[in-house]
Amino acid sequence: MRRRTLPLFASLALAALLAGCTSTPASTSSTPVAGGKLVYASGDAEPTCLDPHVGGNYPQALVATQYLESLVSKDTSGKNIPWLADSWVTADDGLSVTFTLKSGVTFTDGTPFDAAAVAANVAHIQNPATGSSTGYLALQKVAKVEAVDARTARFDLSEPDSALLDSLSQPWLAMESPTAIARPQADNCASPVGTGPFVVTKWNRQQSIILTRNDAYTSPPADAGHTGAAYLDEIDWTFLPDPASRFAALQTGSVDMIDNVQPDILSQAASNNTLLAIDAPRPGASNRIELNSSKAPFDDAKVREAFIRSSDVDSGVKSLFFGTATRSYSALSSVEPDAVSEPDLFTYDQAAAASLLDAAGWTARNSEGYRTKDGQVLELAFPVSTNQSIPAEQSLFEQIQATSKEAGFKVDLAPLDLSSWYAALGTNDYNLVSAPYTKVGPDVLRILFDSSGTVRAPSGYFANHAQVKNPALDDLLTRAAQSTDADQRSSFYADAQKIVLEGFYILPLYDQQNHFLLRSAVQGVRALPTVSTPTLYDAWVQR
């Protein structure tokens, strides 16, 4: 579910490193070599559960992509393509989608992959005891799944859902063995069982996850580079939180690939011709700061706009991200065709901010220069997840803190670990928050801004952190989800985005970042065009 983004690189030095940089690095003419081990060093938080049905965050998706598979995938054009489902048909009334499943596939514990397994997976995600958030929210319109026969699974919907295929392409809704998910949750968290090219062999908590090749693998997505088993014997998925340590390990060759690459390190890497880069911006929402409109002072639209006008985001992005990110003015990622960008709503203008605060009654200032009203200081709680916000982003928040102070805002930045950060959100103890959320397609707007998004999923998580409750917006998002006409759907999403942007509920920052560096000896790695997680199925290492 959660985290960063962007493909445009202004720096010529960085462009030299990233020449031809796409979701797949430049290939060589070498023949793939079978065998060997790849060491992957992740800077994302270590999952507390390796089953992405539980909770549903981005660190889970990164590693689960190696051992779990989805019913559908996407190609680089955004078209839905077969994976564990060979084909699908949507009913004329939009109230059911029938999937024909790939034959001869088994989970790595020997359990058959069939329609009953699909039904069991949906039931697992929807079961409150599972504690799902991302998968649960994506399946809200699925009433039931019926196993028509072994190879035919019919999804019956409570209302049409134009985003269902996009949702089912995500790792948080991937298929797991019904036998395995029937175990106690702690057991399944430690060793989920999928149909994928690798198997979870051992989880050394706080250190690494060992994944070994599934020699009986038969079910790659339609756009994979080969068929049959993976080339690699083993993946050592290591956790190295410090970005400098990750880069040093890559340079020395003790690791083969790293994620969560920081902007300054990308700049440093520009002169190293032994490294390859993958830039894979995430789909769905942009990285943004959400303004909690459910309580003072942001229950007043004038104050929300004043904060946004007093925040100098452009200068911070330019100075802190070394050309690895471009300023966003949209609720959606730039990779989403339906994204609406409104730069004029987010211009830095201290005079306008001052006028808006005067009009809202925040006219006095205390001895520290902060605005006051009826004895209350214009103070904003801003909990920051140190697991999800990279150092450059945290520095950006500090610059926003400094520029908004000129207008009279007191921003209290509180760096927190992930569990404390979730607790702050759950108790409504925030005015500002940056909460990355990844979902394929514009339907992410429904998750983030529909009134229903203020209601907690079984995991305790809710996604509408701006706490927008707007009936007109809800209606547009519902109509977009139900529409079968692409142009009409785009129009609904455009109108919905205008309500969010013009209501000053969010301060867009930049696309969610996915930067990977790998040694040039590593070939065949690509980022899936779904949620931009790397797949190591086609990867091999020339030692």
Using CB atoms within 10 A of its CB, is residue 27 exposed (0-12), middle (13-18) or buried (19+)?
A: exposed
In this structure, the answer to whether residues 494 and 349 fall within a common structural domain is: yes
- 203 beta partners: 209
Helix residue ranges, H only, 169-287: 178-181, 185-190, 243-252, 263-268
In a domain, 7, yes or no: no
In this structure, the answer to whether residues 266 and 297 fall within a common structural domain is: no
In this structure, the answer to whether residues 408 and 536 fall within a common structural domain is: no
What CATH number is given to the structural domain containing 504? 3.10.105.10
In this structure, the answer to whether residues 300 and 238 fall within a common structural domain is: no
In this structure, the answer to whether residues 177 and 199 fall within a common structural domain is: yes
In a domain, 249, yes or no: yes
pLDDT of residue 268: 84
In this structure, the answer to whether residues 431 and 471 fall within a common structural domain is: yes
In this structure, the answer to whether residues 76 and 172 fall within a common structural domain is: yes
* DSSP run (H or E) holding 297: none
In this structure, the answer to whether residues 121 and 100 fall within a common structural domain is: yes
In this structure, the answer to whether residues 268 and 292 fall within a common structural domain is: no
The parent domain of residue 136 ranges over 12-280+514-541
In this structure, the answer to whether residues 347 and 413 fall within a common structural domain is: yes
In a domain, 4, yes or no: no
Residue 272 has a CB neighbour count (10 Å cut-off) of 14
In a domain, 1, yes or no: no
pLDDT of residue 418: 86
| The dihedral sign for the CA sequence 503, 506, 508, 512 | negative
pLDDT of residue 269: 87
What CATH number is given to the structural domain containing 38? 3.40.190.10
pLDDT of residue 24: 52
Rounded distance between C-alpha atoms, residue 317 and residue 312, angstroms = 9
In a domain, 227, yes or no: yes
* DSSP run (H or E) holding 452: none
In a domain, 5, yes or no: no
In this structure, the answer to whether residues 478 and 329 fall within a common structural domain is: yes
In a domain, 381, yes or no: yes
pLDDT of residue 272: 86
Q: Do 292 and 467 meet the contact criterion of CB atoms below 8 Å apart? A: yes
pLDDT of residue 26: 44
pLDDT per residue rounded down to tens, the chain (543 residues): 433 333 332 233 333 333 334 445 544 447 999 999 999 999 988 999 999 999 999 999 999 999 999 999 999 999 999 999 999 999 999 999 999 999 999 999 999 999 999 999 999 999 999 999 999 999 999 999 999 999 999 999 999 999 999 999 999 999 999 999 999 999 999 999 999 999 999 999 999 999 999 999 999 999 999 999 999 999 999 999 999 999 999 999 999 999 999 999 998 887 888 999 999 999 999 999 999 999 999 999 999 999 999 999 999 999 999 988 999 999 999 999 999 999 999 999 999 999 999 999 999 999 999 999 999 999 999 999 998 888 999 999 999 999 999 999 999 999 999 889 999 999 999 999 999 899 999 999 999 999 999 998 888 889 999 999 999 999 999 999 999 999 999 999 999 999 999 999 999 999 988 999 999 999 999 999 999 999 999 999 997
Rounded distance between C-alpha atoms, residue 542 and residue 274, angstroms = 13
In this structure, the answer to whether residues 218 and 84 fall within a common structural domain is: yes
- Collapsing DSSP states into helix, strand and coil, what is residue 523? strand
Q: Do 314 and 276 meet the contact criterion of CB atoms below 8 Å apart? A: no
Please give the model's pTM, rounded to 2 decimal places: 0.90
- Overall domain count for the chain: 2
Q: Do 4 and 436 meet the contact criterion of CB atoms below 8 Å apart? A: yes
In a domain, 63, yes or no: yes
| The dihedral sign for the CA sequence 527, 529, 530, 532 | positive
Rounded distance between C-alpha atoms, residue 290 and residue 447, angstroms = 14
Residues 6+ positions from 133 with CB-CB distance below 8 Å: 1, 55, 56, 457, 458, 459, 460, 461, 463
